Amino acid sequence: MAQRTFVIGVGMTKFEKPGARNWDYPEMGKEAGQAALDDAGISYDLVQRAFGSYVHGDSCYGNRALYELGMTGIPIVNVNNNCASGVSGLYMAREAVKFGQADCVMAVGFEKMNSGEIQMAFANRPSPLRKQIKAMWTRRGRQSTPIAAQMFANAAKEHSETYGTPAETWAKVSVKNYSHAVNNPRSQFRTARSLDEILAAPMISDPLTRMMCCPTSDGGAAAIVASERFVEQHGLWDKAVEIAGMHMVTDTPDTFDGTDKAIVGWHMNRKIAEAVYEESGLGPENVQVVELHDCFAPAEVLLYEALGLCPEGKGGDLLLSGGTTYGGQWVVNPSGGLLSKGHPLGATGLAQCAELTWQLRGEADKRQVTGATAALQHNLGLGGAGVAAVYKKVG
């Protein structure tokens, strides 16, 4: 029988420009993991298993990082699901608690990255995105710009071609998220940017300028998931935020249906949204705050539609109406999102969880969304896996 699951502790480092801080995975994991333990008010010896998420690194870096918190002999599983690695670890932690395998599980994620375009670690084997790249080239031809940027630039072009979405719409996503990040002390970028500044930034893949693309980042984040029994035994109801629903989907044949939006995960995103709303019993109309995977500015608009915040083709209108910032129906990416907060791959999904936990506890300081009682998370990794979660306030 499935059990209720709760986030009882979260922590994260400040996300940094690669090389800005002299640290490695053990320091990132220890800082984020200890912050989550301190937040919950428990010691590491109460954690019964753990998941360590990262993309760039050799085997067992999760062990190396978690050993900084203690060597207690618990099962540790290392997780790599591309940009969804952090939330995949969180998903596995929640599954372990949900189905009674453990009462207290930690997920920690971290990444130490290089500046610039993300490169494959091994040049002597095909890319995991080979099928997606082939589909993109078949539809739009080969380009010399970074692969992921091409994919989302093509999706932006398709949206404009199909629905008449103005190209400036993508820049306005960045304006919003840069403005949100001003109030996030853990964000990589904390300076508001004007529409003109974003449009004038160097072009990466038309129509996307550099400021419409998330940066590479160094950093870590962690979350602790516990059962109702554990929460009750340790008196943690004041910390607990319920994971009311959580679902993972990977690619299906419709990823290759001949559209640009499918290549960047449209169908996965729609499926996980439907599944998580069904499990939680809550829909988009019931949530007030959203953290979603804005790796490139068009991704956010596409996700408004895939996650059911608005009908297909209306994502740009929703953004321009102010419906996704303070004073609107939802506040989307109050943290600044990937565009401003940063995107250390293994930590991103866990940082989203941390932000939403703080929001539902009323602990988000200047970023606080007034009256938040339920929240939606979305994290995507091309190649591919998508995870969505609905959180709700306890009591």
CATH number at residue 221: 3.40.47.10
- The residue range of the domain holding 341 is 5-116+215-393
Would you say residue 120 has pLDDT above 90?
A: no
Query: Mean pLDDT, the chain, as a whole number?
Result: 95
Lowest mean pLDDT, pick from 112-116, 195-199, 202-206, 309-313: 112-116
- For 346-384, the pLDDT digits (tens) are 999 999 999 999 999 999 999 999 999 999 999 999 988
Per the domain annotation, does 373 fall within a domain? yes
pLDDT score at 251: 92
Per the domain annotation, does 324 fall within a domain? yes
- For 206-242, the pLDDT digits (tens) are 999 999 999 999 999 999 999 999 999 999 999 999 9
Beta bridge mates, 387 = 248, 379
Separation of alpha carbons 369 and 362, rounded Å? 8
Per the domain annotation, does 245 fall within a domain? yes
DSSP state at residue 70: -
> What is the count of structural domains for the chain?
1
- Per cent of the chain over pLDDT 70 is 98
- For 142-161, the pLDDT digits (tens) are 888 888 999 999 999 999 99
Q: Do residues 331 and 290 make contact, with C-beta atoms less than 8 angstroms apart?
A: yes
Per the domain annotation, does 272 fall within a domain? yes
pLDDT score at 162: 98
Q: Do residues 244 and 280 make contact, with C-beta atoms less than 8 angstroms apart?
A: yes
pLDDT score at 89: 98
Per the domain annotation, does 186 fall within a domain? no
- In terms of C-beta density within 10 A (0-12 exposed, 13-18 middle, 19 or more buried), how is residue 21 classed? middle
pLDDT score at 116: 63
Would you say residue 119 has pLDDT above 80?
A: no
Please compute the mean of the pLDDT values over residues 34-51 and round it to a whole number: 99
- Which residues are known catalytic residues? 83
Count of positions (residues) in the chain: 395
User: What residue type is 188 in one-letter code?
Assistant: Q
- In terms of C-beta density within 10 A (0-12 exposed, 13-18 middle, 19 or more buried), how is residue 185 classed? exposed
Per the domain annotation, does 257 fall within a domain? yes
Per the domain annotation, does 28 fall within a domain? yes
Over the Cα atoms of the chain, what is R_g?
19
pLDDT score at 117: 62
Per the domain annotation, does 342 fall within a domain? yes
Would you say residue 130 has pLDDT above 90?
A: no
